[in-house]
C-alpha cells in the first residue's frame, strides 16, 4: 500500500517489440547458443544515431567505481536456470512483482555455472512474466546499464537468459533484502538503528554519485526504498535499472522523456514538464532520507487525505526542532544527537528543493552524510513528545522480502530478442 506507478508510457503491441538491431550478446565462438558461456559485452552505436555510454566514458573510474569497456556476462540457457532453481519450485521464490518472480538459485562461485541445490553460491534470478510488454524494455535496460557499470554500491548483474519467450536476469544475492521491508514491516524484523540508517544512506548516495559522476551521466530515475538492497552487513546497493536513462548531452540541462516513476518519489519538475534532470534523482534521494527519519512511507493512502504524500505533509516541519521531534521515528528515539537529526533534516530539505539547480550534487550529499555519521554524541535526555504522526503512518506488513524487489510493471511482450546493448534510453 502506498506505491503507485506514475507512467505516461504507451505500451507497444507484440508486433512492435524492440529488436537488437545494433548490438547483441553472442556466445563464445564455437559453442552452442543454448549452453552457459561467458559472452563478450558489446556496446556499439545504436541504429538511431544516439550516443552510447562507452562513447563518452572517458573517465573510466568515478567515485570508486568503473564504467567498463567490456563486461563479461554469463549467457545462461533456460535449462541452466531451471537447474539452478530446482525447476523454479515455489519454495525457491524470494518475491514477486509486476515484472515477474524472483527465485533463489545456486551457481558455482568460481565459474558461475549452475549447481545443485545447496552447493556453491546463492544468486537471485528474476524471471519475466511472459505477458509483460513493458517488462522487456526494462529487462533490456538492466542488461545495458548493469552490464557496464561496476561499483560497490550497485547490485552486480552476473548474467542473463534470452531464449524463445523466456527472459531472465541473474544477480548477486542480497541477504538482508530491501530497505523498504526493513523500514515498513513492523513484525519479524528488528527496527533499523539510527547508525544503520545513516550507513545505508551513505552507501546509496555513493551509488548515485557514481552514476552522476561521468561526463555522460546516468539518471537512475526510480530511486526509492524498495530499490535499495542490503547485504549481510547492511551495505546498501542500488538495484533495478529498468528506468535508467542517459543524461543530457551537448550542453543541455535535461532530457525530455515519458514520465515514469513511483508516486511520492518523482521530482515535481519531471511530473509537470517531462523534463528529467540529473538532480531529479537528488529529489528522490531526499524522499528516502525523509523515510529514514520518520519511518513512514513516501505515499500512503491509508493515512488521512492531507498526509497521503509524505513530502507535502512533513516538509514544513523539518525547519524546526520541536516540529521535527513530532515526526521522527519513535523506534530510534535516544539513538542520535539532535544536532545530527537537524543536520539530516536540513540536508533533506536541500534535496527536496523545488528547483533542480538548488539541490546539491550527490558528491556533496555524500560528504554531508559522512559528517553526520561522525556525530556520535547522543541526547542527554529522550523525553520526546510525539504527535499523532505515527498513528497515521501505518507501518503495515509488506509482501515477503526479496533480495531483488521486483518492480510493478504493466503487461508484457513475447518472443523478445537479445538486448540492444547500445546503452541508449
Q: Residue 163 and residue 81: Cα distance in Å, rounded?
A: 11
Q: Which pLDDT score is estimated for 187? A: 62
> Which uninterrupted H or E stretch holds 288?
helix 280-294
Q: Which pLDDT score is estimated for 147? A: 87
Q: Which residues contact 140 (CB under 8 A, 6 or more apart)?
A: 18, 416, 419, 420
- Average pLDDT along the chain, 425 residues, taken 10 residues at a time: 49 34 29 35 29 35 56 88 94 83 95 90 91 76 88 95 91 95 79 97 98 86 96 96 86 84 94 94 98 97 95 96 96 95 98 97 98 82 50 42 39 37 39
- For the chain, which domains are there? 9-172 (3.30.200.20), 177-373 (1.10.510.10)
Q: Which pLDDT score is estimated for 313? A: 97
Spatial contact of 198 and 369, defined as CB atoms under 8 Å apart: yes
Q: Residue 347 and residue 77: Cα distance in Å, rounded?
A: 47
**Nearest 5°: phi and psi at 303?**
-80, 165
Q: Which pLDDT score is estimated for 335? A: 96
- Closest by CA position to 279, among listed 289, 269, 271: 269
Q: Which pLDDT score is estimated for 137? A: 81
List active site positions. 222
Amino acid at each position: 500500500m502506498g506505491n503507485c506507478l506514475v507512467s505516461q508510457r504507451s505500451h507497444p503491441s507484440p508486433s512492435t517489440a524492440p529488436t537488437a538491431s545494433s548490438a547483441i550478446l553472442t556466445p563464445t565462438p564455437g559453442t552452442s547458443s543454448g549452453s552457459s558461456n561467458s559472452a563478450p559485452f558489446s556496446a556499439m552505436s545504436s541504429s538511431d544515431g544516439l550516443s552510447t555510454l562507452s562513447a563518452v566514458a572517458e573517465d573510466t573510474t568515478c567515485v570508486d567505481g568503473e564504467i567498463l569497456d567490456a563486461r563479461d556476462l554469463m549467457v545462461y540457457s533456460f535449462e541452466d536456470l531451471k537447474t539452478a532453481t530446482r525447476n523454479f519450485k515455489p519454495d525457491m521464490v524470494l518475491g514477486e512483482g509486476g515484472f515477474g518472480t524472483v527465485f533463489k538459485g545456486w551457481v558455482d562461485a568460481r565459474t558461475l555455472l549452475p549447481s545443485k541445490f545447496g552447493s556453491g553460491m546463492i544468486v537471485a534470478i528474476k524471471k519475466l512474466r511472459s505477458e509483460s510488454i513493458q517488462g522487456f524494455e526494462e529487462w533490456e535496460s538492466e542488461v545495458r546499464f548493469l552490464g557496464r557499470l561496476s561499483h560497490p554500491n550497485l547490485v552486480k548483474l552476473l548474467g542473463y537468459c534470452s531464449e524463445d519467450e523466456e527472459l531472465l536476469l541473474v544477480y548477486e544475492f542480497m541477504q538482508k533484502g530491501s530497505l523498504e521491508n526493513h523500514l515498513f514491516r513492523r513484525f519479524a524484523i528488528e527496527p533499523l538503528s539510527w547508525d544503520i540508517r545513516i550507513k545505508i544512506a551513505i552507501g546509496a548516495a555513493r551509488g548515485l554519485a557514481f552514476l552522476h559522476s561521468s561526463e555522460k551521466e546516468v539518471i537512475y530515475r526510480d530511486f526509492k526504498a524498495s530499490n535499495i538492497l542490503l547485504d549481510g552487513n547492511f551495505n546498501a546497493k542500488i538495484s533495478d535499472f529498468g528506468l535508467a536513462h542517459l543524461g543530457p548531452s551537448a550542453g543541455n540541462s535535461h532530457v525530455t522523456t515519458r514520465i515514469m516513476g513511483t508516486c511520492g518519489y518523482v521530482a515535481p519538475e519531471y511530473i509537470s514538464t517531462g523534463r528529467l534532470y540529473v538532480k531529479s534523482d537528488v529529489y528522490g534521494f531526499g524522499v528516502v532520507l525523509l523515510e529514514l527519519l520518520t519511518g513512514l512511507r513516501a505515499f500512503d493512502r491509508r493515512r488521512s487525505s492531507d498526509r497521503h504524500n509524505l513530502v507535502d505533509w512533513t516538509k514544513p516541519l523539518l525547519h524546526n526542532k520541536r516540529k521535527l521531534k513530532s515526526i521522527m521515528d519513535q523506534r530510534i528515539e535516544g539513538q542520535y544527537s539532535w544536532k545530527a537529526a537537524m543536520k539530516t533534516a536540513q540536508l533533506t530539505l536541500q534535496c527536496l528543493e523545488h528547483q533542480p539547480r538548488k539541490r546539491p550534487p550527490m558528491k556533496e550529499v555524500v560528504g554531508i552524510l559522512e559528517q553526520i555519521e561522525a556525530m556520535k554524541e547522543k541526547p542527554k535526555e529522550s523525553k520526546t513528545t510525539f504527535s499523532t504522526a505515527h498513528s497515521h503512518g501505518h507501518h503495515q506488513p509488506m509482501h515477503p522480502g526479496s533480495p531483488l524487489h521486483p518492480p510493478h510493471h504493466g503487461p508484457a511482450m513475447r518472443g523478445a530478442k537479445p538486448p540492444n546493448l547500445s546503452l541508449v534510453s
